[in-house]
Amino acid sequence: MAPRSGKTSGLAIPAILRAPGPVLLTSNKAANDAFTATADARAEVGTVWTLDPQQIAHAPREMWWDILADAHDLAGARRLAGHFVTASVDESSSGDFWSTAAANTLTALFLAAANDGRPITDVLAWLASPADRTPVDLLHDAGLDAVAAQLQGTVAGAVETRDGIYETARQYASCLLDPEIAAWVTPPHRSERIAQFRPEAFATSRDTLFLLSKDGGGSASAIIAAAADAVMRAAVIQAERDGGRLDAPLLAILDEAANVCKIQDLPDLYSHLGSRGVIPVTILQSYRQGVRVWGEAGMDALWSASTVKLIGSGIDDADFADKLSRLVGDHDVRTVSVSTSESGKSTSVSMRQERVLPADAIRALPKGSALLLATGIRPALLDLKPWYKEPDAARHGAASAKATAAITERALSKTLGRDHFGPAA
């Protein structure tokens, strides 16, 4: 669905307001969007956690999440490194030499930091001085000799190559250079009383996790993707422990997924999530947007793994519209033709096949409607029911307006430095 077609108001928000269990939302907007429309309602059923490293909502830092918690083993460290790569480069260039080498280096450094109980900010210091032997020593201490040897090999290699790899890695991890951003994912100072967000506990709670970030390279979107990934994986593990499925299910709304929640193996994750009571909802502006993140094969896998697909207005991709039209299928049309000759009139009836929904009709889908393709049922054309047209719209609308005003207020008080000068008269 194109921008402003009702993805957030017609899909994300209604789903969050009806969710019986924990909810995770990724977003690149705070004011007048899903965050403001649902935070109050969700606070009534559980704790609301807001991870807002770039201060989209100017949310006070009242939580922290240990980004290295799952980086103690090679697979976990590699996944985390992958989030930093994917947030910075498109799928088409994520496999080139520099990206791969930088990802390997980040993997090794994350492993070293995690295994010695150091914060991720130490990785930045190591990236700044490749000659520092500390990470190699730490990897040996942790018994990860092969990884240590590989890192040592990179460090001792040709200087131009090494510097190229390290510079690439520094770019990928650059969002952590901002101490205000890093503070959300590193242990707080002893004097700070800040709650730790724990994905395992979240899975069986009725809490809400808002993951907010700006778009683009250098943004905190790698952190958002890493947190969403960690929550969904922890939920799967928790569900396996509890006998197969989460009760109630965890709803993971990946709004603006191609901008702020690029989880590289999301297509593979999909197959694990559904059967464990984790419901992922990936919201994209177009099919092509997904292709840029996951590649043709990956997007095809994501498409196939989604048991419910909704296509809304603003599809201006001719190939995709034609593919959808073919999926919806054909129907028989009866045509009657009358011909006149010397012997009189004759009528003939013929059948011909026509598209139920031609490609141009899909491209002209009006705002507020959507084509539904779901496993096991016939395609359907739906009217979306945006939250602001539902019976409780007044209540949620008032809450959203209040929360939006609070964001503006916090932004203003920051720029005016009111904290230093006391409240305004």
Ligand X SMILES: Nc1ncnc2c1ncn2[C@@H]1O[C@H](COP(=O)(O)OP(=O)(O)O)[C@@H](O)[C@H]1O
Query: Considering the complex, what minimum distance in angstroms separates the CB of residue 44 from Mg ion?
Result: 24
Query: Whose CA is closest to 81, among 161, 151, 140?
Result: 151
Letter for the amino acid at 59?
A
Give the residue from 220, 222, 181 showing the smallest Cα distance to 86: 222
Note the helical H segments in 257-357: 257-260, 266-273, 287-305, 318-328
Specify the residue, 202 or 320, whose C-beta has the smaller distance to ligand X.
Answer: 320
Length of the chain counted residue by residue: 425
Q: Which is nearer to ligand X, 94 or 400 (CB)?
A: 400
- How far apart are alpha carbons 376 and 258 in whole angstroms? 28
Smallest gap from Cβ 206 to ligand X, in A, equals 25
**7 vs 276, which CB is nearer to Mg ion?**
7
Q: At closest approach, how far in Å is the CB of 252 from ligand X? A: 17
Q: For residue 103, which of 120, 90, 84, 122 has the smallest C-alpha distance?
A: 84
> How far, in Å, CA of 211 to CA of 260, rounded?
9
Three-class secondary structure of residue 142 per DSSP:
coil
- The entry of ligand X, Mg ion, none that residue 4 binds, CB within 5 to 8 Å by partner kind: ligand X
Taking CB under 5 A as the binding criterion, the range among 4-12, 38-46, 139-147, 310-318 that sits at the site for Mg ion is 4-12
Q: Work out how close the CB of 285 gets to ligand X at its nearest, in angstroms, rounded to a whole number.
A: 8
Q: In the complex, what is the shortest distance from the CB of residue 9 to ligand X, in angstroms, rounded to a whole number?
A: 3
**Nearest approach, Cβ of residue 300 and ligand X (Å):** 23
Please state, in angstroms and rounded to a whole number, the distance separating the CA atoms of residues 411 and 421: 15
Least gap, CB of 397 to ligand X (angstroms): 6
Contact 153, 165 (CB under 8 A): no
Q: What is the rounded (10 degree) CA torsion for 411, 417, 423, 425?
A: -90
In the complex with ligand X, the residue whose CB is nearer, 314 or 358, is 314
By CB under 5 A, tell whether 204 contacts Mg ion. no
Phi, psi of 367 (to 5 degrees): -55, 140
Phi first, then psi: give them for residue 75, nearest 5 degrees.
Answer: -60, -45
- Per partner kind, with CB cut-offs from 5 to 8 A, the member of Mg ion, ligand X, none near residue 9 is ligand X
Closer residue to ligand X, CB minimum distance, 361 or 393 = 393
Residue 286 in contact with Mg ion, rule: CB under 5 A = no
Say whether residue 285 binds Mg ion (CB under 5 A): no
Under the binding rule (CB under 5 A), the answer on residue 28 touching Mg ion is: no
Which residues of the chain form contacts with ligand X (CB under 6 A)? Answer: 1, 3-10, 388, 397
Residue 305 token pair: 């793994």
Question: Which of 8, 54, 285, 325 touches Mg ion (CB under 5 A)?
Answer: 8
By a kind-dependent CB cut-off of 5 to 8 A, residue 6 interacts, out of ligand X, Mg ion, none, with ligand X
**Quick check: 38 binds Mg ion (CB under 5 A)?**
no
Residue with the CB atom nearest Mg ion in the bound state: 8
φ, ψ for residue 70, nearest 5 deg: -100, 10
Q: Which is nearer to ligand X, 379 or 397 (CB)?
A: 397
Q: Nearer to ligand X by C-beta: 168 or 313?
A: 313
Strands 308-311 and 369-374: antiparallel
Which residues in this chain contact Mg ion in the complex, by CB under 5 A? 7-8
